Structure 1
Amino acid sequence: MKRSLSLALGALALAAVSPAAAQTAAKPAAKPALDVHGQPFPRIPGQNLDGLRVYIRAGLKTHQAGQHDYPQFLADFSKVLTQHGAVVDGSFHAPSAAELANTDVVVMYKGDAGFMTAAQREALQAFIKRGGGIVTIHDVLCGPDPAEFASYVGGGKKHGQVNYTLEAKVPYTIVDKANPIMQGMTEMTLNDEAFYLMTWSQAPKIHVLATTVIDNTPSAKGHAGEVVPQIWTYEHTVAGGKPARAFVWMQGHNYANISNPQIEGMLLRGISWAGKHPVNELVDYKQPAPEPRPNRQ
């Protein structure tokens, strides 16, 4: 009888706990990282160590001044993402399996990422299979096998093929104005570079967010006037894996366009979405007030 009464009281106590409180109670506390002496690392002021985990895959500088400035992106966006509540890592090399194990989304801004060693390909494919997200900017999706890269992000571009407009007008037509990633985006025209002759994934297909009309430049001879997707999302599931997401913005030839407030906001929302976090998590993040520092006088 006493045992039955105890069980009943326990059930009532559990029922009185709100669902949110129950979830909080069930979530184990994060264990702090320890150094070689067994001491916890100090918490870094101004960083949200519980945020979206982003790995920036950059490359060495190519092209003319102000163009393809991959190192500057690593420097700038590591700060931008940190200020918006992300946990950021990055480098000039393809992330290893160990680095990807602690990553939600890889943001790539470097040329010809379709060229990979066997180990790099294996690590990336395993990351995608477990549901990891990818965001690519500009010519990342260029490589020797565009169909392979299209299977990762929805589209691929053949290396060595004339499939670009060079310095050109890139007018955006926003196809999906209701998509939350495109909040605040207007149908602007950038001075940048657009790609055509793309290889597209067919099963599943990309979800187009914005297109452009290929400008009449010497390199686009015979393709001027074509309407080609330039911004899109891609959702797919590798056999035996978890659903994965990719977000692609094909401009960024001229580095200054990345700091356009509309573009920066779109990239932050695309990164959040690809990492399976709320789409506005990064743009809405507010850094907490700094903790008072001890008076050393």
Structure 2
Amino acid sequence: MRITPLLVCSLLCVTDALADGPSFRMPTYPDKAPPPARTPEEVRALLAGSRPPQEAKELKVLLVAGPKDHSTGEHDYPAWQKVWNPLLSRSANTKVDDAWEFPTEEQAEEADVMVFFQRGRWDSDRARVIDKFLSRGGGLVYIHWAVDGRGGEAEFAKRIGLASKGGSISYRHGPLHVDFSPGADHPIARNLARVDFVDEAYWRLTGDPGDLTLIGTSEEEGKPRPLFWTVERGRGRVFVSIPGHYMWTFDDPAFRALLLRGIAWTGRANVDRFNELVTLDARIEE
């Protein structure tokens, strides 16, 4: 797709067109001020080199949320599900469904991609569903605290690369300077070199970092730590994002692009499939 002034306007001005319609932005929280919005120039650079749009195959996406478990503006899984269901549904030939805590076997059988944003957990019952899903070529996306294994982290990590044992990891809230050079050749990281977010990093996770296809890292305690990665398990694909603590992150077009590309990539679709959603009610300077 050639990036033209008309296309940029159609993408960047879509918020005005929807001023009286549904909102595709996360709730605002008076006690938490979001970081600065991205500039239009940053967004143009992010979307440069998009592949020509083609008629998209049907993609069935399941959004898995759970009870909110942090303070205002953090880990608001229900709000994310409420916003991202209609957001993804705006994309042609995309069917979106919701699940709570964990999909039923029927939902897992129906979905092409399952996106988890809740506090994770791993046990033998979940392993049976996920292993079957991956074996048939399903795509999995895990966001932030969805990587928690709650005692099953070693087995969980075998499926998703790295997983958390709550209470034993290291973490930091604040500015994240993410280096995407490890994923320079991966379509998810296209046009991303170094990007700053204000969110949370986890490290000292369970699993083998050498088993990952790294997308992006941040330096924590003097070492580059994985923040975004992919793994492939049999016929299945997995994309993991550690950022996602603050709800404002989901309105950042750079983070949206990463997450939307991750969903498309795990579903074996064109990573530019959801480009029109990157800017929809996103935080972009006017």
Which residue pairs with 1:36 in the alignment? Answer: none
Amino acid at match of 2:113: V
The reply on whether 1:189 has 2:196 as its aligned counterpart is yes
Aligned to 2:264: 272
Q: For residue 138 of structure 1, what is the amino acid of its counterpart?
A: H
State which structure, 1 or 2, has the greater radius of gyration over its C-alpha atoms.
Answer: 1
Aligned amino acid, residue 228 of structure 1: R
The aligned amino acid for 1:257 is T
TM-score (norm 2): 0.72
Aligned to 1:209: 215
Structure 1 residue aligned with 2:27: none
Structure 2 counterpart of 1:148, from 155, 160, 165 = 155
Long gaps (5+) in structure 2: 1-54, 278-286
Runs of 4+ in 1 over 4 A off after TM superposition: none
CA-based RMSD of the aligned residues comes to: 2.1
- Counterparts of 2:112 and 2:77 in 1: how far apart (Å)? 21
Q: Which deviates the most, 69-78 or 174-183?
A: 174-183
**Gap regions ≥5 residues in structure 1:** 1-47, 215-223, 238-242, 286-297
- Given candidates 105, 118, 126, the residue that maps to 1:120 is 126
Which residue number in structure 2 is paired with residue 104 of structure 1? Answer: 112
Mapping of residues 1-297 of structure 1, within 5 Å: 51-85=58-92, 86-111=94-119, 113-116=120-123, 118-143=124-149, 144-165=151-172, 167-174=173-180, 175-201=182-208, 205-214=211-220, 224-237=221-234, 243-283=235-275
- Residue 128 (structure 1) shift: 1.5
Q: What is the TM-score of this pair, normalised by structure 1?
A: 0.69
Measure, in 1, the Cα distance between the counterparts of 2:160 and 2:126: 16
3-state SS of 2:140 partner: strand
Residues 144, 242 of structure 2: 8 Å contact kept: yes
Taking the aligned partners of 1:129 and 1:68, their CA distance within structure 2 comes to 30
1:284 positional shift: 5.8
AA in 2 matched with 1:264: R
Q: Deviations over 1:245-288 (max 9, x none)?
A: 00111001111111101111111111011011222222268xxx
2:243 and 2:56 mapped to 1: Cα distance?
A: 31
Indicate conservation of the 8 Å contact 1:50/1:87, yes or no: no
**SS class of match (2:80):** helix
Whether the 8 Å CA contact 1:105–1:134 is kept in 2: the answer is yes
Which structure's relative contact order is higher, taking Cα pairs within 8 Å and 6+ residues apart?
Answer: 2
Tell me the residue number matched to 1:294. none
